[in-house]
Amino acid sequence: MDDKNNSPKLIDFGFSTCIPNDVPNNYIFLMRYAALGHHQFVDEHVKLTLDKMAFGGIYDQIGGGFARYSTDKLWKVPHFEKMLYDNAQLISLYAEAHTRYRKDLYKQIADQSIAFCLRDLYKGDGIFYSALDADSEGEEGKYYVWKENELKQVLGDDYRLASLYYNIGQKADWEHGNNILLRNRPDEAILSELDLDKEDFEAGINRINKKLLEVREDRIAPGLDDKSLTSWNALMLKGLADAYIAFNEERYLEIAKQTAKFITRTQRKADGGLFHNYKNGTSNINGYLEDYSFTIEALVRMYEATFDRHWLNEADALTQYVMAHFYDTESGMFYFTSDLDPSLVARKMELNDNVIPASNSSMANALFLLGTILDNQDYLEKSQVMLNNIKLQMVEYGSGYSNWGNLMLKEIYPLYEIAIVGSNSQEKRIQMEQYYIPNKIVLGSTKRSDLALLDGKYVDGETLYYVCVNKACQLPTSEISEALKQIK
């Protein structure tokens, strides 16, 4: 089908070309939907949105990381507060987008956003704080904006490049003579205007950003919300794992491992459950469903990144705990609070995806992923029941159910179970991850494994790809090119 015929399906599903920039999961869904259905119109919409977010005032151009949302339709003036949960999800989004579209900009945004989180929100030992306030010295945005004379004084000969690159005194002009640094032209246009080669240009921008960041760090910083929430750390864990998979940056995996240990050890209760909050060395507040569902999804992603069975075992143990304390047998859905919490008049259930996915949509996806890898039919059936409960509602307000949509895509299109077995399984995983295949689960081992999808697939002296659908596998191959031919 051509895009003209296909694109109305998007509108019928409740999406429009004006989705808020603070709901990253909508764009993850749209990107996968476009790739699987070959919708060029949707692809262009996603790329345009990601470009404009990266260029706008909602993105911290010199320090990395996104503000919570824009206060105007131009995405110029942000509400300057920076949240861990936004940046964690946007790291995942831009990492996946780089694999899909191969734009250097998207890797740059993911890398810089991770750098921001590590610089301003990282306690160490895998623990991330929650947020930076919008205000400093009683004035919103004061930490981030610049007077033109100040920029001239700090940058000297680099001012002309900075003024063109960041639109100083033009589109960047805000109120009271302040500038919100933003971009509106691709690098090539500025290169041409200044007659610079790419190497000198990039060196100049890096020099400008370094100078400005050093000056900014001497200012009075916004207040830090120094509590650490399990659910938001789990989103960051997944963001780091996604970035490692996309870019093969070992440092991202090492931090991810520390965050995974923080959640599964420090935040673990004596009964096997999770605490929700950590601050000043103390873990407290009984965990909510989002603490478990986001962690389970992140741990499955850690398994895909490492093939370390330990992360699957941790995910499965938490899933069993959720089944025991959050599951409603009547509806087939999960309560937000545990049955160990004080009784309420009504225990609520989160169904609608918002700035973070609903805990039920996250749990449904977690059950599907874990059920597939562990060959656990009970998990798969429960995931299917949850999706069936929601299907009719999705048509009315698609952008409020985009994470459910991600699960539905796995039902509509074939899900490829890609098993990689042999001593070089990690090297071959890295090869496979260079290709954008949104409807896949990757699992593997360097030796014999009792996982159903790996059982009997180990061959001495070889490392083989097995491409399977519903556990039915095609002929194994050692060549990535042949494996890709088996993926329609």
Q: Which contiguous run of DSSP H or E holds residue 373?
A: helix 359-374
166: its two tokens: 């960041």
Helical residues (DSSP H) of 67-197, grouped into ranges: 84-101, 104-120, 148-155, 159-165, 187-194
260 lies in the same domain as 203: no
Q: Are 419 and 468 in contact, with CB atoms under 8 Å apart? A: yes
Rounded mean pLDDT of 385-392? 97
Helical residues (DSSP H) of 248-337, grouped into ranges: 250-261, 289-306, 309-325
399 lies in the same domain as 420: no
56 lies in the same domain as 175: yes
pLDDT band at 488 (very low <50, low <70, confident <90, very high): confident
What distance in Å separates the CA atoms of residue 448 and residue 154, rounded to the nearest whole number? Answer: 60
Over 70: is that where the pLDDT of 233 sits? yes
408 lies in the same domain as 462: no
What distance in Å separates the CA atoms of residue 435 and residue 246, rounded to the nearest whole number? Answer: 10
* Phi, psi (deg, nearest 5) at residue 140: -70, 130
Residue 1: predicted pLDDT: 33
Over 60: is that where the pLDDT of 349 sits? yes
Residue 83's alpha-carbon distances to 68, 120, 412, 474, in angstroms, are 6, 11, 34, 45
48 lies in the same domain as 86: yes
What value does the mean pLDDT of the chain take?
94
Residue 6: predicted pLDDT: 39
Asked if residue 233 is part of any domain, the answer here is: no
Q: Which contiguous run of DSSP H or E holds residue 143?
A: none
Rounded mean pLDDT of 313-341? 97
40 lies in the same domain as 185: yes
476 lies in the same domain as 462: yes
Residue 311: predicted pLDDT: 98
Q: Would the CA dihedral through 139, 140, 144, 148 be positive or negative?
A: negative
pLDDT band at 346 (very low <50, low <70, confident <90, very high): confident
How many CB atoms within 10 Å of residue 88?
29
Task: Provide the CATH number for the domain around residue 354.
Answer: 1.50.10.10
The model's pLDDT over 62-102, given as tens digits with 9 standing for 90+, comes to 999 999 988 888 889 999 999 999 999 999 999 999 999 99
Over 90: is that where the pLDDT of 438 sits? yes
52 lies in the same domain as 142: yes
Asked if residue 290 is part of any domain, the answer here is: yes
Asked if residue 239 is part of any domain, the answer here is: no
The model's pLDDT over 248-300, given as tens digits with 9 standing for 90+, comes to 999 999 999 999 999 999 999 999 999 999 999 999 999 999 999 999 999 99
280 lies in the same domain as 345: yes
218 lies in the same domain as 149: yes
**Axis crossing angle, helix 148-155 with helix 198-216, rounded to the nearest 10:** 110
Give the count of domains, the chain.
3
423 lies in the same domain as 400: no
Amino acid identity, residue 60? Answer: D
20 lies in the same domain as 154: yes
SS3 call for 441: strand
CA distance from start to end of the chain: 16
Asked if residue 238 is part of any domain, the answer here is: no
Asked if residue 214 is part of any domain, the answer here is: yes
What percent of the chain clears pLDDT 90, i.e. is strictly above it?
89
Asked if residue 178 is part of any domain, the answer here is: yes
Asked if residue 457 is part of any domain, the answer here is: yes
- The domain in which residue 208 lies consists of 3-225
User: CA-based angle 339:340:344, to the nearest 5?
Assistant: 60
Asked if residue 237 is part of any domain, the answer here is: no
Residue 50's alpha-carbon distances to 56, 89, 174, in angstroms, are 10, 13, 23
